[in-house]
Amino acid sequence: MTIVVTGATGNVGRPLVSRLAAAGTRVRAVTRTPETAGFPDGVEAVSSAVGALPGASAVFLNSRALGNDLADVVALAKRSGVTKLVALSAINADDDFSRQPSRYRGDRNKEADQLASESGLEWVSLRPSVFATNFAGMWSPQTRAGDVVNGPYATASSAPIVESDIASVAARALLSDDLVGQRIPMTGPLALTNSEMVEIIGSVLGRPLHYNEIPAEFVRQRFIGLGFGAEFADAYIAMLATTLDRPAPVTDDVERILGRPAQSFERWVSEHTNLFTN
């Protein structure tokens, strides 16, 4: 068995490559920098998804990594004899695009899901909630500078999932037939408000961190000033606003599939304190 992993140096792709290699599977890891990727011994690092497909039996589809080549890679995979596609989608893939900020960062979650499920091959669609590392990206500049994290909607909630859990479920989907034909919504174990997540970070760091709610328009302008664009800013704010009246959904699919609870946000922070302090 040969498995192709696209987006192989990403937050999901890298641990997925390691899990597949540890299982004794032949892996072709697609990356823009194959010479310096640093994969485990035996992993074949390649620069082209198209070139990786001949002789492969399964493909992990990362739409951001594939960009405009997503549909072509799916079509070629079928012609090349691939029998299974595992697509990285998102829990909100069916929402209006105006509430999907990741689209404006290059994700095509709905398209990846549709292309896999309509390919005629065996397929699995993984639909994780917001990644735990996203909060380091958003908040670490502020936690390094002081004890206040400014942002919109203090009571907006998320159920952040640790990326290594996504990778573990992806490995199960690629290595077995247990999940074929399923769209799997995956979350962390708890829905947490922005205020609660900042308090958790502060508790782990031993600091009196607190979340300071500021008007959404200020947040919008800050995102635009950082180069994210108005569409991303509007979609991010709209996505958060949907959780003001109802908490973010929590599922037990990670535990159902892996036989253990999903990792908590607190545990993830405790294992990645450097992201918030260095």
pLDDT tens per residue across span 7-63: 999 999 999 999 999 999 999 999 999 999 999 999 999 999 999 999 999 999 999
Q: How many CB atoms lie within 10 A of CB 192?
A: 23
Residue 136 confidence (pLDDT)? 96
Provide the pairing of β-strand 44-46 with 26-30.
Answer: parallel
Counting residues of the chain whose pLDDT is more than 70, the rounded percentage is 100
pLDDT (tens digit, 9 = 90+) per residue, 55-100?
Answer: 999 999 999 999 999 999 999 999 999 999 999 999 999 999 999 9
Residue range 150-162: average pLDDT?
97
pLDDT (tens digit, 9 = 90+) per residue, 204-257?
Answer: 999 999 999 999 999 999 999 989 999 999 999 999 999 999 999 999 999 999
- 175, with CB counted inside 10 A (0-12, 13-18, 19+), is middle
CATH: 3.90.1150.10, 3.40.50.720, 3.90.1520.10, 3.40.50.300. Which one for 2-129+162-186+249-263?
3.40.50.720
Taking CA atoms, 195 is separated from 209, 247, 249, in Å, by: 9, 13, 17
Domains of the chain, by residue range, sit at 2-129+162-186+249-263
Residue 226 confidence (pLDDT)? 85
Intra-chain end-to-end CA distance of the chain, in Å:
41
Q: How far, in Å, CA of 108 to CA of 65, rounded?
A: 10
